[in-house]
Structure 1
Amino acid sequence: MFAKAFRVKSNTAIKGSDRRKLRADVTAAFPTLGTDRVSELIPGKEELNVVKLYAHKGDAVTVYMIGGNPILFELEKNLYPTVYTLWSYPDLLPAFTTWPLVLEKLVGGADLMLPGVVVPPTGLPQVQQGDLCAIALVGNRAPVAIGVAAMSTTQMLASGLKGKGFSVLHTYQDHLWKSGDKSSPPAIAPLAMNPTDSNEEKVDPGLHGNLSSLTLEGEEENRKVHHPEASEDTSSGALSQDSQDSKPLQEQMDELLHQCFLHALKSRVKKADLPLLTSTLLGSHMFSCCPEGQQLDIKKSSYKKLSKFLQHMQQEQIVQVKELSKGVESIVAVDWRHPRKGSTLEGGEVRRIVIDYAKRNSLVDADNRNLVRLDPILCDCVLEKNEQHSVTKLPWDDLLTRCLQNMQPAYQVTFPGQEPILKKGKLSPIDITLAQKAYNKKVTVVRNLETYGLDPCSVAATLQQRCQASTIISPAPGAKDSLQVQIQGNQIHHLGRLLLEEYRLPGKYIQGLEKAPKPGKK
């Protein structure tokens, strides 16, 4: 429905009476949500906007927006949750699973056909024709689409999982999703299952259909979609029993709360987002930063409430919280230079972390140990946008290389008796070049001495005395606050001896020594 751009008719703030009516309608439409969670979804004092729009096919749709995100939409007097809402309440609707490669087709406006439905060992959820359902991807319970069942579960199985399964209404990455903060689905591990269960024990293998001929309805041409063999990793991201037993639940939740809060500030919140509603921080950013296999629940922490936790973070001088309107708190400032940032990792440490993560979450391909299956977290870390739905595995070398390339390069220089100096960017070597001057005269130019703690003036004075040649010190072109030394003639041999033997710099940090004059030549 929202595969193409829609036209907005109006955008107004909701009245108090309409807010109460909406809350009642949501309670009636989704009775399993409960009164408390309905109040969380539609808070009493936070600004709630009603957007009237026309979809590209002319359907009149009402969208309810909170904190800049669409949370519900209404079509023909029926209420539907958006993917943003389902990420906070993943069990709100009966959920069916499909392959990651299928998502791109759903975003393009296709309906989900039954050959693309993955049958779990516990069997398909029991639904009736016309029921509203969520659609998730293999390995992650966070819904990526919602649709209406085209037939009951009994009819699906009786058909041998052939034909149209769901009429898709809304998806992650469609234009309704783009009207929000465009955050990605959180990583929510599949429900744990008995490890002794197997597909053969629970489901007739014939009901899986021919996966190599999976087709989708809604395209100009029904093309075949091929996807690799895959299996749900039911233990992905789960805490080990030892770690669960070692700490009380409240302490674990406190640590998870801090982790999600700092991760959200570091990777999702920008200066331009401030002031930011505290409820938006939690619902749109912190929940989506929750590690795979864990569920953030503030009520189980020692803080009990988000406001109390944020007061503590304000005391730590990480954020500043103010009540900009009555009863509604917002984050108005963030100390971006707080010590939470700036930690560094060496290449070897990055490799160990990635390898440990893949092994701990059983991502090493069972058929080929040289390949790693990409879960949602690794996809976000290493894949380009055009690869998100086509690349499902990577060789170890490629995975590790991509992880390193996507990190901010930095280097650290330590001088005797001083604190180490950490700088962003790549370490530039000392650069030695030869330049041709008037009357065919050559000069030696050396740059980047300051990076290694060398004073260009001292180096110039030493070379002038040893080479019996004039030297000039001037600003280095294209380098702020950096000087270059120019020595008359080809003096690379003397310069190399000075840098390598006296200053004892490793040769790998010096570029251009090969241009020294050959023996017997001037």
Structure 2
Amino acid sequence: MFAKPFRVKSNIVMKGSDRRKLKADVSTAFPSLSSDELIELVPSKEDFNVVKIYAHKGDAVTLYVGHKNPLFFEVDKQLYPTVYMLWRYPAVLPAFRTWPPVLHKMIGGADLMLPGVVVPSSGLPDIKQGDPCAITLVNNRAPVAIGTAAVCSEEMLNLGMKGRGVCVLHTYMDHLWAFGEKSSPPTLPDAESERPDVNGKECATDEQEEGEEENPEEKGEHTSVQEQQTSELVRDQAHPALTHQEEGEFEDAKEEGEQVQDDEESPQEVMDALLWQCFLLALKSKVKKSELPLLTSTFLRNHMFSCCPSGKQLDIKKSSYKKLSKFLQVMQKQHSIIRVKELTKGVESIVEVDWESPELHFSVPKATDVAIPLGETLYHPPEITTLYSVSVRLEPLFQDANKRKGVTLQPAEVRSIVTEYVKKNDLVDGNNKKTLRRMQECYQIVFPGQSPQIKKGHIEPIDVSVAYRGSNKKVTVIKNLEVYALDPSAVATALQHRVQASSVLQPIPGAKDRVLVQIQGNQIQQIGHLLLDHYRVPRKYIQGLDKVAKGRKKK
């Protein structure tokens, strides 16, 4: 029901009388909840909203949102819990167990087929046709889906565990889940200690043939999968990628589950999910309407990277998209959240954002950092290190130190190797710098939360200059802000507030993804204060600030 985006009709705070009625309805629908648990779920004083939506097929659905998450949804006067509610009270609904790869299909809109149900030693839960039920994964009893029983449990056994088992309504990582805080399922130990019976040769969904015969060779694979897969596999799934899998990918998903992944390997699914999370959070908390159009490269460097959780590293090359342009195309075509356009040849910009998209209906966690003036994003200057690359001509000099052509070294390392070479070969002038001059200069630049980047040549400084435009009016021009991951539009806005003068952004001819900031008047002094004091860029990486002193001498 929520595999595709839905449309919000209204979102209002519930009145006291409505809350009391909802509490009574919840108590009737889920009698196992105690009075204290009901009060916690439907508080009398805390924020609690009722949201009217239309699902993608036109169904009218009512959501009840509390604690920043949708806790219940109502369809045709039937009340259902969401995964957020069941993660707190997992015993509210009877549950069927299945294998982790089946979740891939259910997120895409498939129902749970009986061959994919793992029958515990205690047997199936006692359930009637049409009753609400939950779906959990082997080794974790935290529900990942909610639906209704297609047939009663007795009929399931009579059918030989073939056919449709659960008509799925809502899953972890669908669009209803995305309406909340997008948290992951908790790890709840599975009470089933015995090895469960497996019915059917593989984890079936309604996209597979129901009448296939059991293959004994493949049946052994399930035992292997069961032992290796845990609930952590579920947390590593990427929301955009999973909703568009082809049927043939099921076996690939099962094989992936059999491989023990190391944390440092950053699987594509993990990176896709992180990319999706940073993308939504950047649009929600960083991008303003006044910034549009916004260079896609700037959006990545200054907005998405800053939204990456502490301890994690965003790397598009390790995702299934490989390139930012491809990822943004998916966001535009499949989710209609943004619109990307090539305003100048070879340079793409985000020109429009659907701020009403259900994907952006979530609360942004409060920042723990100190407040930043002028509404700017907290900026940390990069660490820049001068390096030297071993050239072909000098490779024999570094051969004893096992440094081949192309290896980059810091000046101190070069001096140490040269000194050792001089001592070993009884040469003179060990301290001269001819060696450095013959090497190719490089630099290493490290932005917070990103991998170090080594680039050839000298790093371009931020260039500040005064120019004259029509009617002999002075303007100040700033270039190369992007080299230091500074957002030109944010810098322009900050300067406008400081000097109360208009500014414009202009593409730099011949420089891909580069723009210059132009602001009225000679504003070098204010620009110096902004770059040195606020952004904390070292003075040696800024050229042109000395023009202020020269201007005063002429007066």
TM-score by length of 2: 0.47
TM-score (norm 1): 0.49
